[in-house]
Amino acid sequence: MTPEVTAFACKPREFRVSSPSDTATIASDQPPHVSLAAIFMLFFQIGVMSFGGGLLGWLYREVVERRAWLRDMDFLGGLTLAQVMPGINVTNLGIYVGSRLRGSPGAMAAVVGILSGPFVICIGMAMVYAQIQQIKGAPEFMQGVAAAAVGLFLSVGVKSIRKNIRGWQFVILIAIVVLVGIMQVPMVPVVLVLAPLSVALAWFTRDRAKGKSSDE
């Protein structure tokens, strides 16, 4: 495992170009060409490393920030789709990212990649579960890892606010957090009401947003 991880860590970030002269190519909205093997390897790596959950945080970091396979807004659109549609959020997002990059083979590569590692590791852990429980401090260690993993997850939300949320969008954001996060109203009806409202607001304010909303 280690050679792979380091290979990824050392990979030059060739796509992370955002000087003004490059906006023409980026604005064309076309993701870079990525091999199926690279998609599989990235998702496999994330699947194996995602102790304590927080997979969406890993995905955002690798797909948007480090590799620039997708733009920020593109990723968030996929994320909303992935959460609102039935299915495991991360495999849904994997299908979205994979298919954006390479169509249905890309989607397959992403899903198989993200699940194959945990599939084997989970069953392996189930086999030695009784022994793990006996180690003093092991449950506490895992709780600490899990708490930090939620932090990884939330950091995506904080970064997204800084980059994408302006003006009226804060009202929608706060409404979602209060209703779904704090009051625990079921997510689907809330999204079914607020998402169309938010899109309508975006539509009617589209002229004002032009020119200044270049998040890249």
Partner 1 sequence: MNDDDNILWALVLLFAPLSFLSIGGAASVMAPIHNQTVNVHQWLTQLEFVELFAISRAAPGPGAMLVTLIGWKVAGWWGALVATLAMLIPCSIVLFFMAKVWNRYRGTAFHTALERGLAPVGTGLIISGAIAIMRASGAGWVGLTIFAVATAVLTWRSVHPLIVLASGGVVSVAALVVFNAG
Q: Angle, to 10 degrees, between the axis of helix 187-204 and the axis of helix 72-84?
A: 150
- Asked if 109 and 36 touch (Cβ cutoff 8 Å), the reply is yes
- Pairwise CA distance, residues 80 & 8, whole Å: 28
Smallest gap, in angstroms, from Cβ of residue 215 to partner 1?
Answer: 9
Considering only 56, 59, 63, 70, the residue that binds partner 1 (CB under 8 A) is 56
Go through 191-203 and write b for each residue having 16 or more CB atoms within 10 A of its CB, e for each that does not. beebeeebeeeee
Planar angle of CA 39, 151, 190, nearest 5 degrees: 85
Nearer to partner 1, 21 or 128 (CB): 128
CB atoms within 10 A of CB 207: 7
Nearer to partner 1, 17 or 151 (CB): 151
Smallest gap, in angstroms, from Cβ of residue 158 to partner 1?
Answer: 5
Smallest gap, in angstroms, from Cβ of residue 11 to partner 1?
Answer: 14
- Amino acid identity for residue 105 in this structure: P
Q: Interface with partner 1 by CB under 8 A: which range of 13-21, 34-42, 44-52? A: 44-52
- Asked if 146 and 53 touch (Cβ cutoff 8 Å), the reply is yes
Q: Interface with partner 1 by CB under 8 A: which range of 11-19, 33-41, 194-202? A: 194-202
Considering only 1, 4, 22, 29, the residue that binds partner 1 (CB under 8 A) is 29
Considering only 19, 20, 182, 212, the residue that binds partner 1 (CB under 8 A) is 182
Smallest gap, in angstroms, from Cβ of residue 138 to partner 1?
Answer: 9
Residue 54 in contact with partner 1, rule: CB under 8 A? yes
Torsion of CA 49, 7, 10, 19, to 10 degrees: -80
Supply the DSSP string of 169-183, one letter for each residue. Answer: HHHHHHHHIIIIIIS
Site for partner 1 in 60-99 (CB under 8 A): 61, 73-74, 76-92, 95-96, 99
Residue 38 in contact with partner 1, rule: CB under 8 A? no
Which phi and psi (to 5°) does residue 157 adopt? -60, -45
Considering only 26, 36, 41, 191, the residue that binds partner 1 (CB under 8 A) is 191
Considering only 39, 101, 109, 152, the residue that binds partner 1 (CB under 8 A) is 152
Site for partner 1 in 107-126 (CB under 8 A): 107, 111, 114-115, 117-119, 121-123, 125-126
